[in-house]
Structure 1
Amino acid sequence: MAEKQFKLEIISPDRSFYNGAATMIEYRTTEGEVGVYAGHIPMTQIIAPGVLTITEGDGTKKQAALMSGFVEILPEKISILAETIEWPDEIDKQRAQKAKDRAEQRLKSGDNSLDMVRAELALKRALVRLSFK
């Protein structure tokens, strides 16, 4: 028996990132990891930096680095408004490594004048990008 599909639309400020059918998506929210199938109750969620996994109807899985935004879930459609989202081949690994190093230095410095929350978020984003080999 084929799994029920839903329409998935992902848009960012600079492009329509994905528009197609999926059987499941998995991503990270501010409340933790989430997996959503068709027919889910309506809700909205806030995205936290993490890996987005899209499972298409044929079982193909696609992954992307999803940094922040909002998700609107309806029984037959899921919309993701992403502030930043990248396919693995779009990630600049050297830039991500430099961002990770900078964020770690800021966090280790103990300098209270630095915005530690901002440094922690920069570190999380860099680690998500570097998680793709």
Structure 2
Amino acid sequence: MAKELRVELVAVEERIFTGTAELVTARTTEGELGVLPGHAPMLGQLAEPGQVRLKLAGGDTQVWNVTGGFISVTGEGVTVLAEECSPASAADRH
């Protein structure tokens, strides 16, 4: 079994996703960020508009449009705190 990250995706008023993922990608103000298990701790500001992509075990991918917020990577996993978050349509995915 591949190593996985514990992931929480939270919008201002609700928890959007809690679970595990093999890879988390997000666009920050410093550029595109890919987080795999064992990534160094960091804090980044999400770029606007942006997307957060979760590659789940088995190859499924979830894509979320996010507005504002931060991504935090710790030894415990990844937390994304967004001002707004909604599922991306197939046309939105890039």
Fold match, TM over 0.5?
A: yes
1:21 is displaced (CA, Å) by: 0.4
Q: Secondary structure at the match of 1:13?
A: coil
Equivalence for 2:68 = 68
Equivalence for 1:84 = 84
1:14 is displaced (CA, Å) by: 1.5
Instruction: Report the Cα distance in structure 1 between the residues aligned to 2:17 and 2:86, rounded to whole angstroms.
Output: 11
Q: RMSD across aligned C-alpha pairs, in angstroms?
A: 1.5
Equivalence for 2:14 = 15
Contact in 2 for aligned 1:43/1:73 (Cα 8 Å): yes
Greater Rg over alpha carbons, structure:
1
Alpha carbons of structure 1 residues 76 and 38: separation in structure 2 relative to 1, 3 Å: farther
1:43 is displaced (CA, Å) by: 0.8
Which residue type is aligned with residue 34 of structure 1?
L
Alpha carbons of structure 1 residues 37 and 20: separation in structure 2 relative to 1, 3 Å: same
TM-score (ref. length: structure 1): 0.63
1:86 is displaced (CA, Å) by: 0.5
1:6 is displaced (CA, Å) by: 1.1
The Cα offsets for residues 87-122 of structure 1, whole Å up to 9 and x where unpaired, read as 136xxxxxxxxxxxxxxxxxxxxxxxxxxxxxxxxx
Contact in 2 for aligned 1:38/1:76 (Cα 8 Å): no
Contact in 2 for aligned 1:28/1:50 (Cα 8 Å): yes
- From the two aligned structures, give the one with the greater helix fraction: 1
**Greater relative contact order (CA < 8 Å, ≥ 6 in sequence):** 2
Which residue type is aligned with residue 40 of structure 1?
H
Runs of 4+ residues deviating >3 angstroms:
none
TM-score (ref. length: structure 2): 0.87
Question: How many residue pairs are counted as aligned between the two chains?
Answer: 91
Instruction: Report the Cα distance in structure 1 between the residues aligned to 2:76 and 2:58, rounded to whole angstroms.
Output: 18
Instruction: Report the Cα distance in structure 1 between the residues aligned to 2:12 and 2:64, rounded to whole angstroms.
Output: 16
**1:15-54, aligned counterparts within 5 Å?**
15-48=14-47, 49-54=49-54
Q: Secondary structure at the match of 1:58?
A: helix
1:84 is displaced (CA, Å) by: 1.0
1:61 is displaced (CA, Å) by: 0.5
